[in-house]
Structure 1
Amino acid sequence: MKLTFALTAVLAAFAVQTQAQTATPATAPRVPADQITTKKGPLTVQPITHGSVVLTWNGQTIYVDPYGGAEAYAGLAAPDVILITDIHGDHLDTKTLAGLAVGKALMIVPQAVAEKLPAEYKTQARILRNGQQLDTLGMSVSAIPMYNLPEAADAMHPKGRGNGYRLNLGGKNVYISGDTEDTAEMRALKNIDVAFVCMNLPYTMDVQQAAQGVLAFKPGIVYPYHYRGQSGLSDVAAFQKTVRAANKKIDVRLRNWYPAAK
């Protein structure tokens, strides 16, 4: 009897230990959302991770580059619109898409992304090429070129393949950079109220280059995002300091896009 009890206890302890080793880690707490006033109610900005953000406005939910696993979107409304900027896995993440309720979503994508979408999403895709615009669901979506400098056919992000996006939501202009450097098209942007700007080497641009690009087009609010590179996280505090020193009117909002990072 004692031997049976002891064996049972050992097996139970082993089972608990095995479960602890194989259990899926809990999702990191989500960063609190911001709200920005528009003419048609608040625009809610919910950081997710890396280049992923969820925008909610006028009853519409917009997922930008959904990535990082479907659990990162738990509790959020299903998307009405999905914007995908590029073909790389941190933008076109088919595993994350497969775990989300995307069946009724309009997917706005560049041609290169449309070609790589799984078959079940093909009918939902609307292709926008650089310079094109789509008006839908009360919003306007324009495709902005995103690419590396100097331009080269073998660049990680050649001109014409991917899209940044400019959204008009209730009179507010929102710019999503995607993977880009401070191109002429970025610097020429006008009347941007909210900008999401990348800064991660060697894929896009460094902190100083991003700061100079932002100082050129002068958004009202800028969120540094997509700032994890090969050497870890970029110094977004230095970005904030540089921008503020040159133009105090630009509201640089630092949010933790990597809450699980050690």
Structure 2
Amino acid sequence: MMKSTFLTAALAAFALQAPAQTATSTAAPRVPADQITTAKGPLTVQPITHGSVVLTWNGKTIYVDPYGGAAAYAGLAAPDVILITDIHPDHLDPQTLAGLSVGKALMVVPKAVAEKLPAQYKAQVRILSNGQKLDTLGMQVSAIPMYNLPEAPNAPHPKGRGNGYVLNLGGKNVYLSGDTEDTAEMRALKNIDVAFVCMNLPYTMDVNQAAQGVLAFKPGIVYPYHYRGQNGLSDVASFKKQVNAGNKKIDVRLRNWYLAAK
């Protein structure tokens, strides 16, 4: 009788443990997160993949362009805010959104994205156009133009459709470039503490443009991200070399944004 009871208990315990083990095994790999000091506690920067990053600050979690499958976000807190920059599927990814717990999240998006979001999210959407700002949850979100040069109606990213963003988090200004080239608006940015800057041909800019743009607005820290193009990964080591040759004070942080890629 005791043997039977023990066996039943052991099998029950194993059954309870098995789902957790399965969930862990399906999680995508991630590089370690960074922490940056702000006036209201640390800002945690968790690279996900390509143009996707998760920021955690002051008890709030911000997902930027969630993409690449829900497994890439396993173990992270559900988002309070989701920022989406553009309509392309590596930024607006309904399949990934459907696999995440996004029910409480405010979705800050440009109009073109709002028009393409599934209907179930409409009540959560706040539209920002280039130049507009939003104060929410103790942070400020500013929409920055992102577009291709020279400007053309048939460009992959025409001016006015998508948003880059500047977040003010505890006195730190965080710039997320989205898909852009080194536009006048990027070069004119001021007091940027942390920047995420794209570089993937033929869709945005090359490494040289990205370096020159960064040297113009002089962020304290810059992460090259969104650096996979048609011909593979951009030379981010060359980007770092160019930036630091022009300004040794800029902290160029190279991270592997493609560990979680499918």
Q: Which residue of 2 aligns with 1:84?
A: 84
In structure 2, the residue matched to 1:75 is 75
Shift of 1:94: 0.2
Letter in 2 for 1:46: Q
Determine if contact 2:68/2:260 at 8 Å carries over to the other structure. Answer: no
In structure 2, the CA distance between the partners of 1:112 and 1:260, relative to structure 1 (3 Å rule), is closer
Q: Tell whether the 8 Å contact from 2:26 to 2:71 is kept in structure 1 after alignment.
A: no
Deviation at 1:28, TM superposition (A): 4.0
Aligned to 2:259: 259
Q: SS of the residue aligned with 1:116?
A: coil
Q: Which residue of 2 aligns with 1:234?
A: 234
1:165 has 2:156 as partner:
no
Aligned partner letter, 1:254: L
Q: Secondary structure at the match of 2:216?
A: helix
Taking structure 2 as the reference length, the TM-score comes to: 0.89
Amino acid across the alignment from 2:39:
K
**Alignment-mate amino acid for residue 203 of structure 1:** Y
Name the CA distance, whole Å, in 1 between partners of 2:248 and 2:189.
Answer: 19
Residue type of the partner of 2:138? G
Instruction: State the match for 1:4 in structure 2.
Output: none
| Distance in 2 between residues matched to 1:163 and 1:199, nearest whole Å | 16
Distance in 2 (CA, whole Å) between partners of 1:193 and 1:240 is: 17
Give the secondary-structure state (helix, strand or coil) at the position aligned to 1:205.
coil
Q: Report the Cα distance in structure 1 between the residues aligned to 2:38 and 2:234, rounded to whole angstroms.
A: 31
Whole-Å separation in 1 of the counterparts to 2:219 and 2:237: 18
Aligned to 1:44, the other structure's residue is in SS state strand
Which residue number corresponds to residue 192 of structure 2? 192
Does residue 1:156 correspond to 2:156, yes or no? Answer: yes
- Give the number of equivalent residue pairs: 238
CA contact (8 A) 2:222 2:250 kept: yes
After superposition, the C-alpha distances for 1:80-115 in whole angstroms (9 at most, x for unaligned) are 000000000000000000000000100000000000
Distance 1:261 1:230 in 2: 15
Q: Which runs of 5+ in 2 are unaligned?
A: 1-24
**2:75, 2:97 → 1: CA distance?**
16
Q: 1:4-83 to 2 correspondence within 5 Å?
A: 26-83=26-83
SS class of match (2:115):
helix
2:249 is matched with which residue?
Answer: 249
Q: Deviations over 1:21-46 (max 9, x none)?
A: xxxx9544210000000000000000
| Structure 1 stretches of 4+ moved >6 Å | none
Amino acid at match of 1:31: V
Q: Which runs of 5 or more residues in structure 1 are unaligned?
A: 1-24
- How far is 1:172 from its partner? 0.0
Cα distance in 2, alignment partners of residues 205 and 158 from structure 1: 14
Counterpart check, 1:114 vs 2:105? no
Partners in 2 of 1:259 and 1:120 — Cα distance?
A: 31
Equivalences for residues 191-230 of structure 1 within 5 A: 191-230=191-230
Q: TM-score, normalised by structure 1?
A: 0.89
Structure 1 Cα separation of the partners of residues 99 and 108 of structure 2: 19
Partner of 2:180: 180
